[in-house]
């Protein structure tokens, strides 16, 4: 292949799908390893999307781009439909699985901030990039605990020492979660699922003509 005639614009549309697939594959690998030690690993991580859904979505996004380049509209729309319906179901599953857990509200206090440097200043990047994780203390059944939260922010002033944070305790599994089911998951999951269903119906209508 002649590098001088190589058109990067043909490759760039595949990049999002490839990135999502790689991230999903790493999550699937971690899930398979950790579930042997903790059968509730995935539940406790409270991921928005199941690792398998993430990896499959990336693969379908790659196929969608390929079919679009080949002008195969039905196949491309089929991939999009599966992606939307899968994402909608995953969000709804996340919402209802959190709702059914008997989570107790716990008030925690931020006692410190952990700073993680993501990149250093270079000629291309004009400033270093950091991510900030709050370290909190809280009390359960008369005993005090501390933990570094998974919630993070790129804003230096997002978390401040002395501020309060709400955590959620699952007395059945003896774990702390940093989020509960919120209406945004239900609404977004429902909307995405409906859009995916309508896209599927449009495919059936187009094929039956």
Please list the alpha-helical segments (H only) found in 49-133.
51-69, 73-99
Cα–Cα nearest to 174, from 108, 97, 93, 102: 102
- Under 8 Å between Cβ of 176 and 167: yes
pLDDT at 46: 55
pLDDT at 60: 95
What pLDDT tens digit does each residue of the chain (209 aa) get? 444 555 566 788 899 999 999 998 988 888 888 776 666 655 555 567 888 889 999 999 999 999 998 999 999 999 999 999 999 998 898 888 888 888 899 999 999 999 988 766 655 556 678 899 999 999 998 899 999 988 888 888 889 999 999 999 988 878 888 888 889 889 999 999 999 999 999 888 878 76
- For 84, counting Cβ atoms within 10 Å of its Cβ (0-12 exposed, 13-18 middle, 19+ buried), the class is buried
Q: Where are the domains of the chain?
A: 3-101+182-208, 104-177
pLDDT at 1: 46
pLDDT at 189: 93
What is the sign of the dihedral through the CA atoms of 140, 143, 144 and 148?
negative
Q: Which pLDDT tens digit goes with each residue over 113-148?
A: 999 887 666 555 566 788 999 999 999 988 999 999
pTM: 0.73
């Amino acid at each position: 292949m002649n590098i001088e005639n190589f058109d990067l614009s043909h490759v760039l549309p595949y990049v999002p799908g490839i990135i999502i697939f790689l991230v999903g594959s790493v999550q699937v690998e971690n899930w398979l390893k950790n579930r042997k030690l903790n059968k509730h690993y995935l539940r406790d991580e409270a991921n928005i999307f199941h690792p398998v859904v993430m990896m499959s979505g990336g693969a379908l996004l790659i196929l969608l781009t390929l079919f679009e380049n080949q002008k195969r509209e039905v196949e491309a729309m089929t991939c999009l439909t599966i992606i939307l319906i899968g994402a909608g179901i995953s969000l709804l599953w996340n919402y209802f699985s959190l709702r059914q857990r008997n989570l107790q509200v716990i008030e925690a206090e931020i006692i410190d901030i952990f700073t993680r440097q993501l990149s250093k200043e270079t000629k291309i990047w004009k400033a270093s990039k950091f991510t900030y994780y709050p370290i909190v203390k809280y009390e359960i059944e008369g005993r005090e605990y501390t933990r570094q939260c998974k919630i993070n922010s790129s804003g230096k002033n997002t978390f401040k020492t002395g501020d309060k944070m709400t955590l959620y305790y699952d007395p059945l599994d003896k774990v702390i979660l940093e989020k509960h089911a919120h209406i945004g998951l239900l609404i977004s999951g429902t909307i995405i699922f409906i859009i995916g269903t309508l896209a599927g119906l449009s495919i059936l209508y187009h094929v039956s003509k």
